[in-house]
Amino acid sequence: MSYSEDTFKKIIAHAKEYGFIFQSSEIYDGLSAVYDYGQNGVELKNNIKKYWWDAMVRLNENIVGIDSAIFMHPTIWKASGHVGAFNDPLIDNKDSKKRYRADVLIEDAREKINQKIQKEVEKAKKRFGDTFDEAQFRDTNPRVLEKQAEIDKITARYKTAMENGDLAELRQIIIDNEVVCPISGSKNWTDVRQFNLMFSTQLGSVSEDADTIYLRPETAQGIFVNYLNVQRTGRMKIPFGIAQIGKAFRNEIVARQFIFRMREFEQMEMQFFIRPGEEQTWFEKWRSARLSWHKALGLGDEFYRLHDHDKLAHYASAATDIEFNFPFGFKELEGIHARSDFDLSQHQQFSGKKIQYFDPELNESYVPYVIETSIGLDRMFLALLSKAYTEEKVTDEEGDTRVVLNIPPALAPVKAAILPLIKKDGLPEKAREIMDNLKFDFNCQYEEKDSIGKRYRRHDAIGTPFCITVDHQTLEDNMVTIRRRDTMQQNRVAITELRSILEAETSMRKLFEKL
Ligand code: ATP
């Protein structure tokens, strides 16, 4: 389940070469931590959105969607706490002049120790073979225990420092754990300072009248401020949810991990409104529902890990991250948060409007509590791409290796490539006929350039699950060769069967049925 050393670099290069992701403004030397999605990237991204949206809105009768504006009244960000407290603790290395998030440096230091433990476990696993009891080993091996104690100590100090906003202590943890700057290799650190992550701009054309407004740093507030609108017009009864997909902007201090941390990104968030007192039950329900959504993709259960927050936001009563094993280690992919009635109460107070729900069963009114699920679309994209990227040894006329993206077929950008074996003898016409029939239901690509082997490889590289080849015999028997991406197996099927084969193997239904 691990990646090879330079996999991440290769994935980034592959994403560019095959039209998935480009650096923004590349011909002007790029804009840092901003990316554009190319012709294949946008298809994959749209498919991820659909998988999320339909799982939320279509499969749950009590969840509806909205699409709120990016610009919102500036007071919203005061009410939400973002103006006052949406800060990251930043620290600079005096030698490299590079800026880091102090909390991330500490988390990385902790993860490094964790990886050492993991290595001990792997070694022992090899040594003891089938009789190996991992839990017992972790509980008793002195080296592992010592390292675990180090982790626990960092965690305890970190938690207290974050809770107290103790910036000097954050710095001290970095010093005590001898964290070095990866660029300069030095331990020459500045003090830790707070940095607000919101981008601001001016509304209105006349500067004197101009009002500072913010680019939203999360989509959630657009849901909260529309709570009453949706509840009333949709006649929603608690419990119910509102889902939204949209852009969010954060002036991230450190943004060096490709699309993992961007300054402009997309979120898929769902706020689930519940009765006070039912938080724990719904929190657990959503945590498990979200994990199932991930696991249904079949990337491998061992790629996910649940991580409870050390430091809860001031409004939260529980928070868990679903972490994914990215090429640079386990990192947050999605957050599930119990937000209490914090947001709605704040908006009630700041707007002066009553935001309450009359519960006919209880015969009383209350401000609903909220469970939030929040996932970064771009991070989900990176998770899929990282896991899908595979270099394989094969032997055929195209050489002895191939790069294949094992993207779950339902999410693959192109479902089928339609390929006439050669560019004449009526084969292109026949292939076009097939294309013209399939294109209404599936994203297909017609390609006639280059040898068939080269075309297969190109489609392996973008993750196309099926290649359909039209040859001379097709003109006689209306059969085509269908080649599968993962096994490279080929067999002949009737043209009339193609639709049902593609439907059975590339539709999202199969994923939804697992939820
Ligand atoms: P991190 O600790 O990594 O900065 P966060 O805890 O601030 O993340 P949330 O505010 O919980 O993140 O945002 C919800 C989700 O939005 C995250 O799980 C992540 O998938 C995504 N996300 C947050 N910031 C970014 C970013 N800068 N670029 C891409 N995705 C992001």
How do residues 441-457 score in pLDDT, each as one tens digit?
999 999 999 999 999 99
Closest residue by Cα to residue 144 from 128, 115, 120, 127 = 120
Are both 138 and 228 inside the same structural domain? Answer: no
Does any domain span residue 381?
yes
- What is the structure's pLDDT at 309? 80
- 30 phi/psi in degrees, rounded to 5: 85, 160
Are both 270 and 339 inside the same structural domain? Answer: yes
| Torsion of the alpha carbons at 357, 358, 361 and 366, rounded to the nearest 10 | 60
Does any domain span residue 340?
yes
Range of the domain at 147: 87-189
Residue 314's pLDDT band (boundaries 50, 70, 90)? Answer: low
Are both 148 and 215 inside the same structural domain? Answer: no
Does any domain span residue 133?
yes
Are both 222 and 180 inside the same structural domain? Answer: no
Distance from residue 323's CA to the centre of ligand 1 (Å): 11
Give dist(CA 213, CA 199) in Å, integer: 9
Residue 85's pLDDT band (boundaries 50, 70, 90)? Answer: confident
- What is the structure's pLDDT at 321? 96
User: Two tokens at 403?
Assistant: 């790069």
The domain boundary, picked from 189, 206, 236, lies at 189
Residues 6+ apart with CB under 8 A from 165: none
User: Two tokens at 22?
Assistant: 């480009």
Residue 129's pLDDT band (boundaries 50, 70, 90)? Answer: confident
Give dist(CA 410, CA 514) in Å, integer: 13
Are both 81 and 91 inside the same structural domain? Answer: no
Are both 374 and 257 inside the same structural domain? Answer: yes
Distance from residue 257's CA to the centre of ligand 1 (Å): 13
Q: Residue 369 maps to which CATH number? A: 3.30.930.10
Are both 92 and 82 inside the same structural domain? Answer: no
- What is the structure's pLDDT at 380? 98
Residues 6+ apart with CB under 8 A from 248: 216, 217, 218, 219, 264, 265, 266, 267
Distance from residue 198's CA to the centre of ligand 1 (Å): 13
- What is the structure's pLDDT at 399? 75
User: From atom 21 of ligand 1, which residue's Cα is the shortest distance away?
Assistant: 376
- Under 8 Å between Cβ of 200 and 188: no
Are both 254 and 324 inside the same structural domain? Answer: yes
Q: Residue 123 maps to which CATH number? A: 3.30.40
Beta-sheet strands, E only, within 293-328? 304-308, 318-326
User: From atom 4 of ligand 1, which residue's Cα is the shortest distance away?
Assistant: 261
Total domain count for the chain?
3
- Whether the pLDDT of residue 1 is over 60: the answer is no
Does any domain span residue 238?
yes
Are both 210 and 108 inside the same structural domain? Answer: no
Does any domain span residue 391?
no
Closest residue by Cα to residue 197 from 89, 106, 94, 100 = 89
Distance from residue 251's CA to the centre of ligand 1 (Å): 12
Task: Tell me the residue type at 396.
Answer: D
Q: Whole-prediction pTM value? A: 0.85
Does any domain span residue 504?
yes
User: From atom 1 of ligand 1, which residue's Cα is the shortest distance away?
Assistant: 332
User: From atom 22 of ligand 1, which residue's Cα is the shortest distance away?
Assistant: 376
| pLDDT tens string 201-238 | 988 766 665 678 999 999 999 999 999 999 999 999 99
- What is the structure's pLDDT at 47? 98
Are both 33 and 91 inside the same structural domain? Answer: no
Are both 229 and 288 inside the same structural domain? Answer: yes
With a Cβ cut-off of 6 Å, ligand 1 is lined by 250, 252, 261-262, 265, 267, 332-335, 374-376, 378-379
Give dist(CA 137, CA 490) in Å, integer: 47
Mean pLDDT value across residues 472-495:
97
Does any domain span residue 12?
yes
The domain boundary, picked from 385, 409, 443, lies at 385
Q: In sequence order, which ranges of 399-508 are alpha helices (DSSP H)?
A: 427-438, 452-462, 472-477, 498-506
- What is the structure's pLDDT at 219? 98
- Whether the pLDDT of residue 82 is over 60: the answer is yes
Are both 308 and 203 inside the same structural domain? Answer: yes
DSSP letter string, 44-104: HHHHHHHHHHIIIIIT-TTEEEE---SB--THHHHHTTHHHH-EEEEEEBTTT--EEEHHH
Residue 256's pLDDT band (boundaries 50, 70, 90)? Answer: confident
| pLDDT tens string 184-203 | 999 999 999 988 889 999 88
The domain boundary, picked from 322, 356, 385, lies at 385
Does any domain span residue 392?
no
